[in-house]
């Protein structure tokens, strides 16, 4: 019997500029751009292979759709799937943990460089004719910041943290890092320190840790008080790692000089009246750091390879509940 494959919200990964041919070769494929939560079970129907990005797949959905044999998440985070319910039904759940590392690390540095040089602002100023009408040879509206000899503290020294550290080190920065599991590759780039020392000594703090109960709110009023005055915060990891209200207060008081945030603790429903949008020293982007064309192409290749592994009766390397399904 031909496999029936459903992608519930494919637009986030492929708005039409890429092909789904890898999955098309493996069965009857239906791709929805977006799926409201209440329509998930109806669209899955009798499909045996289901992919999602942000549409939840709940216990109730699995009960309604007993044909499901595999659930894949088109992202790194997989909290949108009830993994416990999948385990009980013997359904492998996979994510895609190894794509976008170069893209996210590059984006983190791009946020930092925008804070240091206000390139977007000055480009707009030139386009508006301010350079042409300026009485001096050149001008700038903000103090420009040189990163050489400053200290970057990286929280989470996994693949992305490591790549970010390498770029920052190439810019002449000193790197310190906090991670529960230090590695030799990490030691080649950074000095591992306790978290409080990282807060106390860093000129820039870049966040690259997963969202766990232990990391939720790791940047909050208490930790901000331990930081240097004028610290810069960059978050391309997960929104709830940083308390939005607390960082907003610190941006307004000047305790934090600036912040580059690709993620917020409520997405995408942050009220437009929130004070963060009035902070001139905040650079905000819409959770897009991972989404380079190269990263998404790599992701699509990994998606097809994962399905092939499952159809061959193997548990893929990226199966998040592998230990529960082993016999």
Q: What is the pLDDT of residue 1?
A: 61
Same domain, 155 and 10: no
Same domain, 111 and 199: yes
Same domain, 171 and 263: yes
**Nearest-angstrom CA–CA distance, 11 and 155:** 31
Same domain, 126 and 44: no
How much is the average pLDDT of 216-230? 97
What mean pLDDT, rounded, does the chain reach?
A: 92
Please confirm, yes or no, whether 238 is among the known catalytic residues.
Answer: yes
The active-site residue, picked from 88, 267, 280, 294, is: 267
How much is the average pLDDT of 281-307? 84
pLDDT digits (tens, 9 = 90+) for 122-160: 999 999 999 999 998 899 999 999 999 999 999 999 999
Same domain, 117 and 162: yes
Please confirm, yes or no, whether 267 is among the known catalytic residues.
Answer: yes
Lowest mean pLDDT, pick from 76-85, 179-188, 224-233, 243-252: 76-85
Please give the residue that has the higher pLDDT: either 117 or 269: 117
Percent of the chain with pLDDT over 90: 71
How much is the average pLDDT of 163-183? 97
Question: Above 60 in pLDDT, residue 327?
Answer: no
Dihedral over alpha carbons 59, 61, 64, 65 (to 10 degrees): -110
CA dist list (Å): 105 to 12, 32, 171, 312:
20, 30, 14, 34
Same domain, 145 and 273: yes
Give the total number of structural domains in the chain. 2
Same domain, 136 and 195: yes
How much is the average pLDDT of 162-174? 98
Same domain, 306 and 160: no
Q: What is the pLDDT of residue 326?
A: 58
Q: Which domain holds residue 241?
A: 101-284
Same domain, 68 and 210: no
Q: What is the DSSP string of 297-309?
A: HHHHHHHHHHHHH
The active-site residue, picked from 117, 159, 166, 287, is: 287
Lowest mean pLDDT, pick from 145-149, 167-171, 268-272: 268-272
Please confirm, yes or no, whether 327 is among the known catalytic residues.
Answer: no
Same domain, 93 and 116: no
Q: What is the pLDDT of residue 186?
A: 97
Q: What is the pLDDT of residue 269?
A: 67
Long-range contacts of 20-29 (CB under 8 A, 24+ apart): 20/300, 22/300, 22/301, 22/303, 22/304, 23/51, 23/303, 23/304, 23/307, 25/304, 26/304, 26/307, 26/308, 26/311, 27/2, 27/3, 28/2, 28/3, 28/4, 29/5
Tell me the CATH number at 162. 3.40.50.720
Same domain, 206 and 277: yes
How much is the average pLDDT of 18-22? 81
Question: Above 90 in pLDDT, residue 295?
Answer: no
Q: What is the pLDDT of residue 15?
A: 76
Q: What is the pLDDT of residue 49?
A: 95
Q: What is the pLDDT of residue 321?
A: 86
Percent of the chain with pLDDT over 70: 98
The active-site residue, picked from 13, 118, 208, 238, is: 238
* Residue pointed to by tokens 């013997």: 90
Same domain, 75 and 190: no
């Amino acid at each position: 019997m031909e496999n029936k494959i459903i992608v519930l919200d494919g637009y986030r990964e492929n708005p039409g500029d890429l092909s789904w041919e890898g999955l098309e070769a493996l069965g009857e494929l239906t791709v929805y751009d977006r799926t409201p939560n209440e329509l998930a079970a109806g669209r899955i129907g009798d499909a045996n292979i289901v992919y999602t990005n942000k549409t939840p797949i709940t216990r109730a959905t699995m009960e309604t759709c007993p044909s499901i044999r595999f659930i894949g998440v088109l992202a790194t985070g997989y909290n949108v799937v009830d993994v416990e319910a999948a385990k009980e039904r013997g359904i492998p759940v996979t994510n895609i943990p190894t794509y976008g590392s170069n893209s996210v690390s590059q984006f983190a540095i791009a946020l930092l460089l925008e804070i240091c040089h206000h390139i977007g602002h000055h480009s707009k100023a030139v386009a508006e004719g301010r350079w042409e009408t300026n009485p001096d040879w050149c001008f700038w509206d903000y103090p420009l910041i040189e990163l050489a000899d400053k200290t970057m503290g990286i929280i989470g020294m996994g693949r992305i943290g490591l790549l970010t550290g390498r770029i920052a080190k190439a810019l002449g920065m000193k790197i310190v890092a906090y991670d529960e599991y230090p590695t030799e590759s990490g030691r080649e780039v950074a000095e591992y320190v306790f978290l409080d020392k990282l807060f106390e000594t860093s000129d820039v703090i870049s966040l690259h840790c997963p969202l766990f109960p232990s990391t939720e709110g790791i940047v909050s009023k208490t930790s901000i008080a331990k930081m240097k005055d004028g610290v810069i915060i960059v978050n391309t990891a997960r929104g709830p790692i940083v308390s939005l209200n607390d960082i907003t207060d610190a941006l307004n008081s000047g305790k934090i000089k600036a912040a580059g945030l690709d993620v917020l603790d409520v997405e995408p429903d942050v009220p437009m009246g929130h004070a963060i949008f009035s902070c001139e020293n905040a650079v905000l982007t819409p959770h897009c750091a991972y989404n380079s064309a190269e990263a998404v192409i790599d992701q699509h290749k990994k998606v097809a390879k994962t399905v092939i592994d499952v159809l061959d009766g193997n548990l893929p390397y990226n199966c998040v509940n592998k230990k529960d399904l082993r016999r």
